[in-house]
Amino acid sequence: MQFSNQQWALILGGSSGFGLASAKKLAALGMGVCIVHRDRRGAMSRINQEFDEIKAFGNPFVSFNVDALSEQGRGDVLAGLKASMGESGRVHVLLHSIAFGNLKPIAPVKKPLHADKAIEMMANKLNLDKETVGQAITDVASESMGDALFSLVNPTYSENLIEEEDLTRTIYSMGTSLLTWTQDIHAQGLFSGDARVLGLTSEGNEIAWRGYAAVSAAKVALESISRSIAVEFAPYGIRSNIIQAGVTDTPALNAIPGSQRMKAVATLKNPFKRLTTPEDVADVVALLSTPEAQWINGALIHADGGEHISSL
């Protein structure tokens, strides 16, 4: 499998996680890569090292540290990308990997939590204080063999509840902005004749995790938008699909309250007894970009090793 360097991947959110892994994979297969990211100066040393790895494949590369969610940022990226691609270059892959969402709960957390009661009972049985037992459980649960204790580790949730503005911003950032980018790229004639629009979702599209309501709504919106793109842009040669990754140890996941529990559950239930990696998902991105995948359109594809069909 090899792509032409006149085929470009435009990756929204490509400085870490799925976006970065996909950029490396597609560059290794010969594709030109454009990464849009939003990072502070202090993070750029690490990020530039990652970008140097992509450049080492010898294919065209350009990056923009701008706000991908603003009209100005989007305009700057497309103008710069057009200049970098030249007359013959076209966007073959648009990957939406933006992780910018609000993680406030929608209702106050009622205390004491179930785990608090269990820890108190254990402390009484062991004739120890609650804090000592709680810390021991947290320490063990953070180790590779501590997955079975996940239910006794209390996540820390924000005391502030989500508001309408939080919901609106998150749904646009992680959901409907996919359409805005798709429309603008198409309007400027930058898509290839066999383009692939790809987005990323999670099982939060069906499961309610505390603090994940806004992101969950965004993911459902993303999936709906992708289906509409698959139908209405098909006459222009554009395919649109969503990848549902398994639980993956990324900066975006670790920002979610209760992520330690999520990783523990995923490790226990996954048939392969491990978490999904960004590289697993990047492999699927690459597969969906091939000519052989041209008849896959409007689909939601699980990239989780069977995690979604397995019980503990």
The residue extents of the domains of the chain are 7-103+163-309, 114-152
Residue 42 corresponds to which tokens in the numbers above? 């202090």
pLDDT for residue 261: 79
pLDDT for residue 145: 47
Ramachandran class of 17: left when φ > 0, alpha when ψ lies in -120 to 50, beta otherwise = left
**CATH hierarchy code of domain 7-103+163-309:** 3.40.50.720
Tracing tokens 């966007």 back to the chain, one arrives at 91
CB 99 within 8 A of CB 13: yes
- Give the Cα separation of 47 and 35 in Å (integer): 11
pLDDT for residue 148: 60
Which residues of the chain are under the pLDDT cut of 50? Answer: 145
CB 280 within 8 A of CB 243: no
**Strand-pair partners of 196:** 93, 239
